[in-house]
Structure 1
């Protein structure tokens, strides 16, 4: 088996080296991020101390709701629905609520720009050209530089123009994205600053109350920003997925950030899936998925994309084979490789057969047949599906038994000797 995952060599020794390669400081963005973070750190405790009596509850609620709306708009809309096309149809109400309102409150640039950068980020998994990744966690030799760059510092710079960047931006050219891009700045000012100022003054009849709610709003979009940035940094630097092939290393079981951090390696291996991970834990810890399913239930999105059972099995098997290859001696791997590839192929074929029966059942149910005849055919098919399911389970177990035997048996033999 070919080794498809090599850790790329660092491009730079120090962060300042990027200036030699066409990077320039984006003074507007860098100043905005810096100033708002300083305001948040200094003004927040002051605002809570001097806020009108009892107003701190409204301030806290505003911050949390702002952060939740901004974060979910990024994960549901900009990330899964727009960047990866997780649904074939997205209605205008979704574009308006999540794009023209929610993503603006997330304060992470227009949806069109966000999606274009994210498409390039995923393209690195196919091309291996990690120098194109706008928030790469592999550019520097030291861990702390990679973290600081991928988490936040990358947004302080104008990146050199590339053909990949221009192409990604040009592709995201649907009417909702183009209009949101044009209206982003005025909407940003209205939703993040004017709205809390006016509402704060209305609720407290004081300038102090207005300023306090605006500070709460700043705290909200800063939380939403770090929700996204944590995915860019943490999930690409630390993780537990054995044999993951993509740039993502993280398949932790945790609740943050709103599901994107869970099974992130699964997401990179099959990005257009509306889910963020495979298996029960992927379902359990993916709040963004629940929102997408709710939108589908309301008819606001249609045609959700997802990996088939066979595609999931292929990804898992590929990881296991890679991990086994790394962990065993080359000579032993050469002896076992053909057998393991055969076991993998048998598992995938059994999975394909089970899915074929599943598709046949759906087709059968859609046919106009007499009730008795339909039930008779379904009963026969049910029995065939059960046989196929057992075969799929047995082939999967045989594959993992083969991996286990290759890795463990030599160790046991050596220990006995």
Structure 2
């Protein structure tokens, strides 16, 4: 039996849940709740630092603006470094992540074709889409069709298969440095906080925020999600011009990820950096 490219997503209900994934998410969240009993300022510092490294550099810069949208270019060895950091965030391998996000842009808010369509409600777009096994989202033979450029690369195929194992050396290193306090904060709490930070872009910014550009979807510029996600919350800008490297266009639109791309450009490591078109900047003033 063949799998169609965009099958109808599963209906909500206990019978359609992927209980293995529900259990996995529950264990990670449960371990994160142990944080008050393992608190130390150094552990909190580790959590914040890794949230930035895996979130801004790995997910926002690596998975999103580099691999998904190709809004700038870097040497292949550096691209692999960024992709590996992204895989350490525990948000899926690069083929899975890129394919899902490209589907989101192709079919934004379409209840059947957008994996995390906000038209199905806040909680669906925030996290329920993860626990209902839609083949178009989770079947590798299906989703890799949306990221053939990534799927052709043997290293990205390896990351897509084994990204979960990357948490093991992270946990071992953190335990050696600071014991269970560092593990709870640097692995479990960091994963949960970064998950929900990222998921807010799928959910909150498609329901609230200012709409600088009146495009067909409901994406908005939401300042507080931009602060939590290193610039991704300027989501209306991004959906209007998805292949542009900066998400924040004004000096007051804080975009930490864009600052990192600018630094790479100044160091000669990033080239062909796509900036907002002049006419679009002039039009929106």
Distance 1:119 1:94 in 2: 19
RMSD after superposition: 2.6
1:143: which partner in 2?
none
| Counterpart among 173, 185, 190 of residue 220 in structure 1 | 190
The answer to whether 1:268 aligns with 2:268 is no
2:91: which partner in 1?
108
1:16: which partner in 2?
13
Q: In the TM superposition, what is the alpha-carbon distance from 1:243 to its structure 2 partner?
A: 6.0
Please list the CA deviations of residues 229-257 of structure 1 after superposition, one character each: whole Å capped at 9, or x if unmatched: 11111000112216621434312344332
Distance 1:170 1:132 in 2: 18
From the superposition, tell whether residues 180 and 90 of structure 1 become closer, same or farther in structure 2 (CA, over 3 Å).
Answer: farther
Distance 2:242 2:129 in 1: 23
Please list the CA deviations of residues 320-363 of structure 1 after superposition, one character each: whole Å capped at 9, or x if unmatched: xxxxxxxxxxxxxxxxxxxxxxxxxxxxxxxxxxxxxxxxxxxx
Distance 2:269 2:162 in 1: 23
Residues 69 and 105 of structure 1 are in contact (CA less than 8 Å); yes or no, is this contact kept in structure 2?
Answer: no
Distance 1:47 1:281 in 2: 37
| Counterpart among 7, 18, 43 of residue 26 in structure 1 | 18
Distance 1:196 1:28 in 2: 27
Q: How many residues align?
A: 269
Higher relative contact order (CA 8 A, sep 6+): 2
Q: In the TM superposition, what is the alpha-carbon distance from 1:308 to its structure 2 partner?
A: 1.6
Q: In the TM superposition, what is the alpha-carbon distance from 1:119 to its structure 2 partner?
A: 0.4
Please list the CA deviations of residues 345-387 of structure 1 after superposition, one character each: whole Å capped at 9, or x if unmatched: xxxxxxxxxxxxxxxxxxxxxxxxxxxxxxxxxxxxxxxxxxx
Higher helix share: 1
1:330: which partner in 2?
none
Please list the CA deviations of residues 136-163 of structure 1 after superposition, one character each: whole Å capped at 9, or x if unmatched: 1112xxxxxx111111121112113389
Distance 2:31 2:167 in 1: 17
Q: In the TM superposition, what is the alpha-carbon distance from 1:94 to its structure 2 partner?
A: 4.1
Residues 88 and 305 of structure 1 are in contact (CA less than 8 Å); yes or no, is this contact kept in structure 2?
Answer: no
The answer to whether 1:122 aligns with 2:105 is yes
Q: In the TM superposition, what is the alpha-carbon distance from 1:305 to its structure 2 partner?
A: 1.4
Q: Which has the larger radius of gyration?
A: 1
From the superposition, tell whether residues 279 and 68 of structure 1 become closer, same or farther in structure 2 (CA, over 3 Å).
Answer: closer
Q: In the TM superposition, what is the alpha-carbon distance from 1:29 to its structure 2 partner?
A: 2.8
Q: In the TM superposition, what is the alpha-carbon distance from 1:170 to its structure 2 partner?
A: 2.8
**TM-score scaled by structure 1?**
0.59
Residues 212 and 237 of structure 2 are in contact (CA less than 8 Å); yes or no, is this contact kept in structure 1?
Answer: no
Q: In the TM superposition, what is the alpha-carbon distance from 1:197 to its structure 2 partner?
A: 2.3
Distance 1:15 1:309 in 2: 45
Gap regions ≥5 residues in structure 2: 1-7
Distance 1:301 1:149 in 2: 36
Residues 63 and 219 of structure 1 are in contact (CA less than 8 Å); yes or no, is this contact kept in structure 2?
Answer: yes
Residues 65 and 220 of structure 1 are in contact (CA less than 8 Å); yes or no, is this contact kept in structure 2?
Answer: no
Q: In the TM superposition, what is the alpha-carbon distance from 1:68 to its structure 2 partner?
A: 1.4
1:198: which partner in 2?
176
